[in-house]
Structure 1
Amino acid sequence: MELLRSVVALLLLLCCGALFVLRSTDAAGGGGGTPDGSEQWGYVEIRPKAHMFWWLYRSPQRVENGSTPWPTVLWLQGGPGASGVGYGNFMEIGPLDTNLKPRASTWLAKADLLFVDNPVGTGFSFVEGGNRTLLAHTDGEAARDLTTLLCKLYRRNTRPRLQGSPLYIVAESYGGKFAVTTALSALKAIHAGRLAANLAGVALGNSWISPEDSVLSWGPLLYQVSRVDENGLGRCDRLAKQISAQLETTEFEEAEKSWNDLENAVLEEANSIDFYNFLKDDLSEDAAVVAAAAVQRQRSLASSSLGKSRRRYSSYLSSKVTREGGLSGLMNTVIKDKLRIIPKNLSWGEQSDDVFEALAGDFMKPRIHEVDELLKLRVNVTIYSGQLDLICATKGTLDWVQKLKWDGLKNFTSSRRVPLYCNNGGEAAAAAAAAAGTQAFLKSYKNLKFYWILGAGHMVPIDNPCPALKMLSDITQSPAR
C-alpha cells in the first residue's frame, strides 16, 4: 500500500502541475522534458527529412541494484500506423489514463518506459512535405529506422540512464513484427559498436507474426464459441485456404485483399463480432455497414472497405476512450501544448493510412523465421496471448510456434504449464487472488516463455492489467523496494 500511495502521489503531482512544465534538454534535436528529469521527449532525424518522435518516462519506483539493474521497456504499437505515444502510453501502460488520472496498473511500477511513434509517419512522427516516398516500405526498413533512433538516443543526454538498463522490446499486434525485426537489427548494431545497449528480451503480445496461422484459426474458433454455424465455418475456411494458397505463391498484396474479404465474411456470418474480443459485438459504423450489406447482399460494398479494415485496430482502441473529444482531442490539445516541439501544422491521428499502405507488401508476410533467429541467438523471447482475442487468436499463435525450428521446441511443448494468480503481497491480497481464481498460465523452457492471459482480448494490459503487470515483473525480474 505504501508503494501504491507513493506512485499515486507522484502521478497526481504530474497531472496537476508538472504536466504543463517544459525544460529544454536538446534544442538542436528538438527535445524537452520535465524539470525533475522524470520525463524526456524529442525527435530524431532517422533519415534526411524523416523525423521520429520518442517519449521516455523514468519510474518513481526505480531501484538502483547492481545485481539486478532496473529495466527499460520499449513499447511498440500495432496497426501498422497506430501511435505508441498515444495508445500505448495513455490507454494501456503509461502513468496517466486518457482522463489524465493516475493509472494504478502502470508498467512504470516495474520499468522505465520508452514510447515511440513508429514507423515514421505515425502519430507525432512525420516526413517533411508529406513525402510518402520517405516512409518505410518494409518491416526491415522500419526496423532500421527504429535502430537508428535507438543508436542516437543512447548517445544523447539520456545515455547514463539507458546504457545501464537492460532493454526489453514489448509489442502488441503488428508491433510484434516490428519487435522481432528491430531486435535483430539492434543486435547487429550492438555487435558493431554503434548501439551501447543491452538487449535483454523481446515480448510479443497478440502479435501478427503469422497471418496465415491467424486467419486459419478464425473459422474453427468462431464455430466452437457459437458465433458461426456450419455454413459460416465453411465460408471462413474457404477464404482462409485461399489466403494460404496466395501466401504460398508469394502473392502478398492479393492475400491482403482476401484477408479483407475474410474479415467482411466474419462480420456477416458472426453478426458483427468484435475482432478484439469475441465475447462482444463490434458496434462501430464500419461493422454496421457490413451487416447491412449482408442483409441486402450488396457485395460491391466489400471491395471498398479495405481502408476500414486497416483502421479497425485503432478504432477499437479509440472506442474505449471516455474523454470528450476522444484521444485525438487530448493529443492535439493538452499533450501537444505540453510537448511544445510538435510542428504546428502536424495533427496527431489515430491511424496513419499512409503508413499502412506503404507496408502493404509486407503486411501478410510471416516473421516466424525472425523469432527462430532470436531464440537461436539466446535472446529471451516471451509470447503472450489474450484468451478472448480473435484477430491474433491463441490457437493461431500456438500453431505458428510449432513451426519454429528452434532446438528447444520439443522440450518446450512437453513442459507442464503452471497457473498464475494475482497476488501482490499480504494476506488480503492473497485472499483476493484466491477469490479471483486463475488469471493466467505459463509454460517455459530455456529462453522461451508463453503466457495464456485469461479474461483478456487483444489489448491485454487494458482487459486484464493485473496478470499483465505480474508477467512484466517475471520477465524483467525488476528489483523490489
Structure 2
Amino acid sequence: MTKMLRFLLLLCFIIYKSAGREGFGPTDQEWGYSTVRPDSYMFWWLHYTTANVSNPTDRPLIIWLQGGPGSSSTGYGNFAELGPLDLELKPRNTTWVQWANVLFVDNPVGTGFGYIGENGSFALNNTQIAQDFLVFLKDFYQKLPQFENIPLYIFCESYGGKMTPEIALFIYRAQKNGEIPSNLKGVGLGDGWVSPIDSVLTWAPYLLNLGLVDQDGYESIMKQAYKARDAIDREDYEQAFNLWGLIEEEVEKQTYNIDFYNVLLKPTASIKKIGLYRSYLGDALSDIMNDLVAPALGLTRKWDDVDGGVFNALGPDFMRPVIHLVDELLDTTDLTVAVYNGQLDLIVDTPGTVNWIKEMNFKDKKLWEQAERLPFHINGFMEGYVKKYDKFAFYWVNNAGHMVPADNPSGMEYILREVTNNFEV
C-alpha cells in the first residue's frame, strides 16, 4: 500500500467517524474476516475503547487470544472474561475496553466464526499458527491503518500462552524488517501451556498438598505422568498427547471430577471437554453468538465454542514445549514479557509454571532470580506477588484460577497497567 493510499484511507475513517460501526453491544466496533491461506479464514472483532479520550488511538491496542486450541476469543474471552458485556448481556464494570482498544481474534484458523473451505486446512503446528497470524495482522492494518503506529500488546490464556511467544517473534521480526507497520511492545502470558510436561508432573503434588487426593491417588496420577515424561524425553509428542488425555481422566477419577480451572469450584459431571477448555456455559454462549451476535454483525457462519477439528489437527504438536521461544523473546527483542498465573488453577498450575521458569536460560536470568519477590496491591488489597527485573516479570495471582481476568479482575488490572505503562501511547 502506498503512503498516499494509506493517507486517503485514514482520512476516510476520520471523515466517516472517529471510531467504527455499531455492532453488538455498547461500543463502537469493527469486524471482519482475513484470508490467511487459500480457503482458510480467521475472524476478528474489535471493540474501540470507551475511555474519555479525544480519539481511540490515544490508547493502545490489546489483542486477546484464547486457548484450547480451538476456543473462541470473540465468544468466551469476550463475554465470559473481559469484554464490554457479560454472559447476561449486562455491562461489565471491569471490562478492558474502558482502558484500551481490545481486538478479539478467533485463532487458529477454524476457531469460533472462523472456517476453512473445501481447499483450506487447519494449522498443524505452532509455527504455522504464527505465520497465519502475521498474515492476519497485515490485513488488519490495511483495513484499519489508524492503528499502525499505536502500541500493540498481546495478552492470552492457556494454549494462547503457547502460541503467543512465536506469534510475537514473527511480528517483531517483520516490523523490524519493514514488512508490517506495527508497534508491538509486549506480551502477557496468562496460565500458559508453555511447558506442558511441567504442568502434568505437578498436578499430583499440587492436589496432594491441597488434600484433594490421598497418597494412593497421588501415586496413581504420577504413574501416568511419568509415562508422559518418558515420551517427551523420547520426543514422541504424539504419544505424549495421547497419554495427556489418560492422565486427565485419572485426575478426574481420583478427585471425583475436580474443576481443572479453579480447584475451589464445586465439581460437576456435565462438562463439554475439548483441549484445555471445558465449557460450563451450556447453550448460553452459543445462543448469544449464533442468535444475537451473528445477525447483528451480518455473519452467516455458525459459531462454535471449542472446535475439535482445530484441536485434533494440532495434537502432534500439543505437548511440545516452547520455553526456548520465551527465552528468545527476552534475548533478541526489546519487548516486555509478563507471565501470570492464578493460584487456584490446576490445568496450568502455578508450581508447573514456576518449574518451567526455572528451566529458562535468557541472558538476564541470574539478575531476575536475584530480584525480590514483592506483594502487589489494588485499593489496599493484596492481589498477589511479583518478581521483576527489566523486561521480564512473573506474577502470582491470588484468588484466581485459570481465567484470571474473570476470577481476579483487580489483580489483572494491575498487571495490565504494569505491562502497558498505564496504557500510555
Query: How high is the TM-score relative to the length of structure 2?
Result: 0.90
SS in 2 for 1:134: coil
What secondary structure, in the 3-state scheme, does the structure 2 residue paired with 1:392 have?
A: coil
Is 1:472–2:416 an aligned residue pair?
yes
Task: Tell me the residue number matched to 2:366.
Answer: 410
Match of 1:159 in 2: 145
2:243 maps to 1:258: yes
In the alignment, is the contact (CA less than 8 A) between 2:149 and 2:181 conserved in 1?
Answer: no
C-alpha change, 1:84 and 1:479, in structure 2 (3 Å) is closer
Specify the code of the residue in structure 1 equivalent to 2:287: G
- Preserved contact between residue 159 and residue 276 of structure 2 (Cα < 8 Å): no
- Helix, strand or coil: the match of 2:277? helix
Would you say 1:44 and 2:34 are equivalent positions?
A: yes
Give 2:72's aligned residue. 83
Q: Which residue of 1 aligns with 2:387?
A: 443
Partner of 1:389: 345
1:342-357 residue pairs with structure 2 within 5 A? 342-343=299-300, 346-357=301-312
SS at match of 2:235: coil
Structure 2: distance between partners of 1:251 and 1:64? 54
SS of alignment partner, residue 438 of structure 1:
strand
Q: What secondary structure does 1:123 align onto?
A: coil
Q: What corresponds to 2:401 in structure 1?
A: 457
Bigger-Rg structure (1/2):
1
CA contact (8 A) 1:172 1:207 kept: yes
1:313-364 Cα distance to aligned partner (Å, 9 max, x none) = 1414x26xxxxx4100010011011100x23xx2111110000001011100
| Matching residue's letter, 1:348 | W
Give me the whole-angstrom Cα distance separating, in 2, the residues matched to 1:63 and 1:348. Answer: 33
* Separation (CA, whole Å) in 2 of partners of 1:142 and 1:337: 29
SS at match of 1:40: strand
- Of 210, 231, 248, the residue aligned with 2:195 is 210
Structure 2: gaps spanning 5 or more residues: 1-12, 14-19
- Where does the alignment leave 5 or more consecutive residues of structure 1 unmatched? 1-24, 26-31, 287-307, 320-324, 424-432
Matched, 1:331 2:321: no
Identity %: 39
Give the deviation of 1:242 after TM superposition: 1.0
Q: What letter is aligned with 1:244?
A: R
> Scaled by the length of structure 1, what TM-score is found?
0.80
Report the counterpart of residue 34 of structure 1 in structure 2.
Answer: 22
Counterpart mapping for 1:69-468 below 5 A = 70-129=59-118, 134-156=121-143, 158-160=144-146, 162-285=147-270, 309-310=273-274, 313-316=277-280, 318=281, 325-340=283-298, 342-343=299-300, 346-377=301-332, 378-423=334-379, 433=380, 437-468=381-412
Cα distance change of structure 1 residues 311 and 403 upon mapping to structure 2, 3 Å threshold: closer
Contact 1:71–1:478, Cα closer than 8 Å, also in 2: no
Contact 1:110 1:473 survives alignment (8 Å): no
1:62-91: per-residue Cα shift (whole Å, max 9, x none)? Answer: 6469xx962111100000000000011111
Instruction: Please tell me whether the aligned partners of residues 69 and 479 of structure 1 are also in contact (alpha carbons under 8 angstroms).
Output: no
Deviation at 1:34, TM superposition (A): 2.4
| 1:383 Cα offset (Å) | 0.3
Amino acid corresponding to residue 31 of structure 2 in structure 1: W
What is the aligned partner in structure 2 of residue 428 from structure 1? none
Structure 2: which amino acid aligns with 1:214?
S
Partner of 2:17: none
How far residue 164 of structure 1 moved from its aligned partner, in angstroms, is 2.6
Change in 2 beyond 3 A, CA 1:267/1:187: same
Partner SS for 2:86: coil
Q: Deviations over 1:435-463 (max 9, x none)?
A: xx421111100110111110000001111
Could you tell me how far apart the structure 1 residues matched to 2:277 and 2:61 are? Answer: 26
CA distance in structure 2 between the partners assigned to 1:374 and 1:284 by the alignment: 40
Distance 2:365 2:424 in 1: 32
Matched, 1:61 2:51: yes
